Amino acid sequence: MIITIASFKGGVGKTTSAIHLAAYLQQKDSTLLIDGDQNRSATTWAAGGSLPFKVVSETQAPKYIRNFEHIVIDTQARPEQKDLEALADGCDLLILPTTPKALDLDALLRTVDVLSKLGASFKVLLTIVPPPPSRSGAEARQLLAESNLPVFRSEIKRLVAFERAPLEGVVVKDYADPRALVAWQGYEDLGKEILP
Ligand SMILES: Nc1ncnc2c1ncn2[C@@H]1O[C@H](COP(=O)(O)OP(=O)(O)O)[C@@H](O)[C@H]1O
Ligand SMILES: [Mg+2]
């Protein structure tokens, strides 16, 4: 399965989602993460050699892809319209992460607009959702439902472990933090929605 993660905006959890979905899929079968962002965030995360799957650049990808069952593609923010078209065409599932913040949702709706005009299919993932008493996650979900957008049931909570794990070069479940397993559970649930 080829999964691409994209958005018009940075800082919405694309790289974090790509890393953790790849970790989930690797439990099922061999998985390759292609780092399509010039900032090379995923490559830097992988540099210590402690991730349970392989990360390569787009340039290296042709040599590797035939050896892997699952491919996850992390992309850079601000793709142009023609890039989005190619992104959507080049995968089995296009995931659009967004936080519940108004500006992020606004960027998401613009992305969706472009994709809908192209007839491309996609699914939205709510990320970096603040804990109660904030209602922003629920409100964002309602807005997305009113816009008739497909949204994953799973959502990713805002947890410090996600900010720390990349510094140690590990996935969040391997990070020594009492909330690490709660953090991982979000991506495990997402993974089960995609590939039970
Ligand atoms: N669920 C989360 N909870 C807390 N911080 C998060 C979460 N997901 C991502 N982050 C942090 O937010 C920032 C942006 O995440 P990142 O995955 O790099 O987004 P993008 O690839 O879309 O730019 C990073 O500092 C990351 O550690
Ligand atoms: Mg990124």
Contact in structure between 19 and 186 (CB atoms under 8 Å): no
The pTM assigned to this predicted structure is: 0.97
Distance, CA of 19 to CA of 148 (rounded, Å): 28
Distance, CA of 191 to CA of 103 (rounded, Å): 27
Question: Of the bound ligands, which one is closest to the alpha carbon of residue 12?
Answer: 1
21: domain range? 2-194
For the chain, give the mean pLDDT. 95
CA distances from 69 to 2, 23, 66, 133, 193 (A): 9, 13, 8, 41, 18
Atom of ligand 1 nearest to the CA of 129: 1
Domain of 47: which CATH number?
3.40.50.300
pLDDT band at 117 (very low <50, low <70, confident <90, very high): confident
- Cα 17 to ligand 2 centroid, rounded to whole Å: 9
What is the tens place of the pLDDT at every residue in 45-79? 999 999 999 999 999 999 999 999 999 999 998 77
- Cα 40 to ligand 2 centroid, rounded to whole Å: 8
Instruction: Taking the CA atoms of 184, 187, 193 and 194 in sequence, report the sign of the dihedral they define.
Output: negative
Distance, CA of 196 to CA of 194 (rounded, Å): 6
Sheet holding 93-98, edge to edge: 54-57, 31-36, 70-75, 2-5, 93-98, 123-129, 151-157
Q: Confirm or reject: Cβ of 11 under 6 Å from ligand 1.
A: yes
Domain count across the chain: 1
Question: Of the bound ligands, which one is closest to the alpha carbon of residue 163?
Answer: 1
